[in-house]
Every structure is written in C-alpha cells, then in structure tokens.
Chains A and B, each alone.
Chain A
Amino acid sequence: DAGVIQSPRHEVTEMGQEVTLRCKPISGHNSLFWYRQTMMRGLELLIYFNNNVPIDDSGMPEDRFSAKMPNASFSTLKIQPSEPRDSAVYFCASSLWQGNGELFFGEGSRLTVL
C-alpha cells in the first residue's frame, strides 16, 4: 500500500485564487483527518470524517475553507479565496475508527499564497 496520498505536494498561488488539495486515504480506513501545520501554531486539526460524514469541523478557520468526502477513497480541502496567512503545510491522515489514536499521515501539501 502506498499509504495516504496527497496532491499537489507543492502549490504556489496568488492571493484571491481558489486552492484545492486532494487526499486518498488508505484503503479500508474509515476515518479521515485534515490538519494544518505552521511554525506558530503547530499541528491544528481542521476537520475529520467518519464513513465519509463530517464529524467535527470546529477547527476550520473560517468560511473560506471547506472540505468534502464524496466517497471512501477521496477527500478535498478547498480554500476560496486564498490569503497569504493560509500558507502552511496541510496534512491528510486516515485511520480505522477504533479510537486508538494511530493515524497514518500523508506527505503533506505545502501551500504558499503570495
């Protein structure tokens, strides 16, 4: 298994543009998480899904951010419009719904908004 797959690995865009980050979880995992990593705030949980249903989106910073999981093998995180303060590394992770805390992370998508 290739593990959690994220794309793009790097994205540079201009302020005001729409950004879409993609994630393919590990096959068979039924929980999916989106985290944002910055120097100042560390790893912040943005949203997580169980069986494709959003369970907790309290970490989504504002309405410019949205996430979807149309099926068990795909999720997107969209930022529209993007702002320079959104620059960060965005991680997707998946797990089996067991509450055992073992998440499997992707390599991350590094976003730079100019």
Chain B
Amino acid sequence: AQRVTQPEKLLSVFKGAPVELKCNYSYSGSPELFWYVQYSRQRLQLLLRHISRESIKGFTADLNKGETSFHLKKPFAQEEDSAMYYCALIGRGSEKLVFGKGTKLTVNP
C-alpha cells in the first residue's frame, strides 16, 4: 500500500531562516515522489519531482531510499513561500497519486 506521512501540520519560520518540510513514505516498490504547493487563493500545483533533481523557487528535495524520506528544503525562506505543501507519491506504471495530509508553512517577516 502507498502511504505518505507529513508529521507537521503547521510550521512557522522567520524570513531568511532555513526551512525543512518533512515527508516520509511507505511503498514496496520504487516510487516517484513529488511536492505540490497551494498558495492562498490559487490552485494546487506541482512544485517539484524527485526525478528531475531540480531546484524550484529555491526549494530542493532529495529522495533518501534508506530512510524512505523526501524532505523539502530551502536555505532562506521568503514570505511568499507561505503556503500549504503536500508531499505525494506515485507507484511506477501507475497514475494513482497519493498525497500526505499537508504542512502549512508560514514565513513571518
């Protein structure tokens, strides 16, 4: 079974501070992991995926298969990063995208 766990419902940091949003997963095969973001009054949208190994808006995420984690990191948080962040998993060959419960990030001035 696919399962995604985001242990923090709420996370609050100050502008310029590093931020890490935690994500752990459970899947028997080789999963693909994603981070989605929902800014206030906007649609839920893809932020980044692990296979791309890219940095989007300063965010990066590394898949750690040993720890079954896919934490999202940014060295210097900005106020515009305040949003709801969802970690998601899809099994290879599947279209079934399973989400964690989300973490609400607030970046204070």
Q: Chain A: residues with CB nearer than 8 A to chain B?
A: 3, 31, 33, 35, 41-45, 48, 50, 55-56, 91, 93, 95, 97, 99-107
Q: Which residues of the other chain, B, contact A106 by a CB distance below 8 angstroms?
A: 43
Given contacts A105-B44, A106-B43, A107-B43, contact A99 B99 (CB under 8 A): no
Interchain CB contact under 8 A, A45 and B97? yes
Q: Closest A residue to B96 by CB, please name it.
A: A56
B88 within 8 A of A: yes
CA distance A86 to B32 in the complex (A): 31
What are some 18 contacts across the A-B interface (CB < 8 A)? A3-B43, A42-B86, A42-B99, A42-B101, A42-B102, A43-B102, A48-B95, A55-B95, A91-B44, A93-B44, A99-B90, A99-B93, A100-B32, A101-B32, A101-B34, A101-B88, A103-B97, A104-B45
From B86, B90, B93, B94, A43 is in contact (CB under 8 Å) with: B86
How distant is A20 from chain B, measured CB to nearest CB, in Å?
22
The SS class assigned to the A binding surface is strand
Q: A41-B101, A105-B44 are in contact. List 17 more A-B contacts (CB 8 A).
A: A3-B43, A33-B97, A42-B86, A42-B102, A43-B99, A43-B101, A45-B97, A56-B96, A91-B44, A99-B92, A100-B32, A101-B32, A101-B49, A101-B88, A101-B90, A102-B49, A103-B46
Top 3 closest pairs, chain A to chain B, by CB:
A42-B101, A43-B99, A105-B44
Chain B 68-109 against A: per-residue CB contact (8 Å), 1 yes, 0 no? 000000000000000000101010111111111110000000
